[in-house]
Structure 1
Amino acid sequence: MSAPSPRSRRARPAKAALSREAIVDAGLAILRKEGIDALSMRRVAQALDTGPASLYVYVANRDELHTLLFDAAIGTIAVEQTDPKRWREQLHGLVTRMTQMMSEEYPGIAILGMATIPTGDNALRVTESMMSLLRAGGASDQAIAYAADLLSMYATAIAYEQSLHSTLFDDPDFEQSEIARVMQRFSAVPADAYPTMASVGALMTRGDGHERFALGLDIIINGLLSTPTEGRLSAQAWGETLRR
């Protein structure tokens, strides 16, 4: 019996052409399915059936990959044309979509938004919409400028907290059990040691996650609209903040 002839290379399915876009798509797929902890140059190369060295032709290093991935993920956030009559509703929707993208669609990606200040085209598109909505609401130029940072930090922090819960705790009822634990603790604090906390303890856990998120967002927006902001921060102070 004759030995089987070797399989021709031409009979094998051709690999997709390697490109920056292909690398970003592969990275986003890994984030969606496996989370941020699984993301590495080696893992992306494996998904593309190539070696890590091949990626460096298109992406300088892991930091650049992170920057590209985060901006591509931001590109999935829908942006509406500003309607002055609905500016607050639209702003709530935009920040909510930002948070959901980072906590649900790409688990753990919020940490990439914390590491650097996003300045890609998609980040600028979302920030422009955010600023336009605040201008429609009557915010001052300085308040609008501060808002780009404050609202993004709020969305990123909430998303990061949510992704941590899903990563660290497998119990689907964790949130409810945690709330119950905190409520029990606050309701039992001695009034002589913690008089203020004892008087408002029952109020500290009111509202579900969506209600508390919306309340926090309104507090930030209302503060931006009513707090004098002109000249509050110097360029030097801002630089020192970034270096911390």
Structure 2
Amino acid sequence: MSMRKIATVLDTGSASLYVYVKDLNLLHALMLDTALEEVEDSPDLPAVERVKAILRSCLTVLLDRRGLAGIAAVTMPRGTGSMRLNELLLDGLLDAGVRPEPKPRTNVPTSRPSRAWPSCISCSSPGPDPAVSTGPCTA
């Protein structure tokens, strides 16, 4: 699919489409997001069954539209439809007892390295070398 083919189907010029979207990738992302708004929630089901129902609904939405599943494989949706889908799935997983694992602590330094002073406010020079100076820039 190209912007030119879409414009032809819409009986307009491709330049007209660029008024609304900057490129084909953004158009795909918006199309996908609009379709994902149709994913159905089943809040009355038990948590695990609810997640399965949401995923089945998502699959149905993608496969019922020719080409949309292929677009979904290579496109990150942008907008309220994808955000809603993420929230539904995360809520369902939390209700099902899935808990996020804590991030492992990394070896983060507790103090800032003192290799160089920040830039001088007065003259924008890099500042004095702390190895040879004990005070602020005097420029």
**Does TM, scored on the shorter chain, surpass 0.5?**
yes
Q: CA deviation at 1:55?
A: 0.8
The answer to whether the aligner puts 1:52 opposite 2:17 as a matched pair is no
The alignment of Structure 1 onto Structure 2 pairs a total of residues equal to 105
The answer to whether the aligner puts 1:69 opposite 2:31 as a matched pair is yes
Separation (CA, whole Å) in 1 of partners of 2:4 and 2:97: 49
1:109 aligns to what?
68
Q: Extract unaligned runs of 5+ from structure 1.
A: 1-38, 143-229, 235-244
- Report the residue type matching 1:91 in the other structure: V
Higher Rg of the two aligned structures: 2
Runs of 4 or more off by more than 4 Å in structure 1? none
- Report the residue type matching 1:108 in the other structure: G
Q: CA deviation at 1:88?
A: 1.1
The answer to whether the aligner puts 1:133 opposite 2:92 as a matched pair is yes
- Report the residue type matching 2:46 in the other structure: R
Secondary structure (helix, strand or coil) at the match of 1:138 reads coil
> Matched residues, percent identical?
30
Secondary structure (helix, strand or coil) at the match of 2:19 reads coil
Q: CA deviation at 1:117?
A: 3.2
**8 A contact 2:42–2:53 mirrored in 1:** no
Normalising by structure 2, we get a TM-score of 0.66
1:120 aligns to what?
79
- Report the residue type matching 1:102 in the other structure: L
Q: CA deviation at 1:65?
A: 0.6
- Report the residue type matching 1:126 in the other structure: L
The answer to whether the aligner puts 1:97 opposite 2:57 as a matched pair is yes
Q: Extract unaligned runs of 5+ from structure 2.
A: 107-139
CA deviation digits over 1:186-224, x for unaligned, max 9?
xxxxxxxxxxxxxxxxxxxxxxxxxxxxxxxxxxxxxxx
2:134 aligns to what?
none
Higher helix share: 1
2:116 aligns to what?
none
Separation (CA, whole Å) in 2 of partners of 1:119 and 1:49: 26
- Report the residue type matching 1:49 in the other structure: D
Q: CA deviation at 1:137?
A: 0.9
**8 A contact 2:28–2:75 mirrored in 1:** no
- Report the residue type matching 1:136 in the other structure: D
